[in-house]
Amino acid sequence: MESKRFSGVTGGDMYDLFKLSAPHYDVMEDQIGVILGKYCQNLTSDEINVLELGTGTGQTLDVILSSDPRIRVVSCDNESQMVEVAKASPHTHVRVIITCEDALSFLKSRMPESVDAVVTAFTIHNLEIPYREQVFEAISKVLKPGGIFINCDKHALTDYDAHQKNFLAHMTSLKVFDEIGRPDVREAWENHYIDDEKIELTEDSARFLLTANGFDNIEFSDRHWLDAICTAIKLN
């Protein structure tokens, strides 16, 4: 099932235009690699298996691959327009498989306790809440005990005023598209953000879902406005 949240001016080869409004995007993506790389240093196996949810244009995929040469990644995205862009770029690599599939069926088709890490960026907040709950459960099932979950995403703060301040900062940043003569892009992302609010992924809800699914060492770091990186370790 395709959601079409990343099509038209918010998807495909137009997606990267979005970065004009989020100068912290690349910094946060790189930080995923730092966290994953540190985690991999403690693994002794010759091969490290990673699943990625939401390939997009493949930026997170590059970061994952660069973080340790032993990594093999299988990455899924349910929007064919995004998969086409990712497959057409240099991410096509011997250590990578990209598949056009929705995250839940992708996770469910994997062997239980078969992967060292599940990494995802700016994807889970797009998922409807009941579906998202199933995704957290499936992530836990597929991870080996001691495996890591890394999610760089919109994580709303529970404090209402603090969240509103962050939301406003994100919305204001979109004015850059008026400056380059693309009010259509501003409007599309504004609508996207307003829709995000209806199914908000909060720090508290992520913590709750992770704890309920057997994770510990749950941490949020590197916050920029609504965005923060969540890391958690699946218990033995």
Ligand X SMILES: C[S@@+](CC[C@H](N)C(=O)[O-])C[C@H]1O[C@@H](n2cnc3c(N)ncnc32)[C@H](O)[C@@H]1O
Lay out the site mask for ligand X across 65-104 (x = CB under 6 A, - = otherwise). Answer: -----------xxxx--x-------------------xx-
Residue reference for tokens 């504004």: 190
Measured from the CB atom, the residue of 129 and 162 that comes closer to ligand X is 129
User: Nearest Cα to 151, choosing from 70, 71, 10, 36?
Assistant: 36
Residue 127, interface with ligand X (CB under 6 A)? yes
Phi, psi of 218 (to 5 degrees): -80, 120
Indicate the residue whose CB is closest to ligand X. Answer: 56
- DSSP label of 4: -
Task: Look up residue 41 and give its amino acid.
Answer: Q
Of 8 and 145, the one with the shorter C-beta distance to ligand X is 8
CB of 214 to ligand X, least distance (A): 22
Q: Single out the residue of 21, 59, 67, 213 in contact with ligand X (rule: CB under 6 A).
A: 59
Least CB distance from residue 39 to ligand X, whole Å? 18
> Residue 52, CB half-sphere, CA atoms under 13 Å: how many?
33
User: Which lies closer to ligand X via its Cβ, residue 41 or residue 57?
Assistant: 57
SS3 annotation, 6-51? CCHHHCHHHHHHHHHHCCCHHHHHHHHHHHHHHHHHCCCCCCEEEE
- The residues of the shown chain that bind ligand X, judged by CB under 6 A, are 3, 6, 29, 53-54, 56-57, 59-60, 76-79, 82, 102-103, 121-123, 126-127
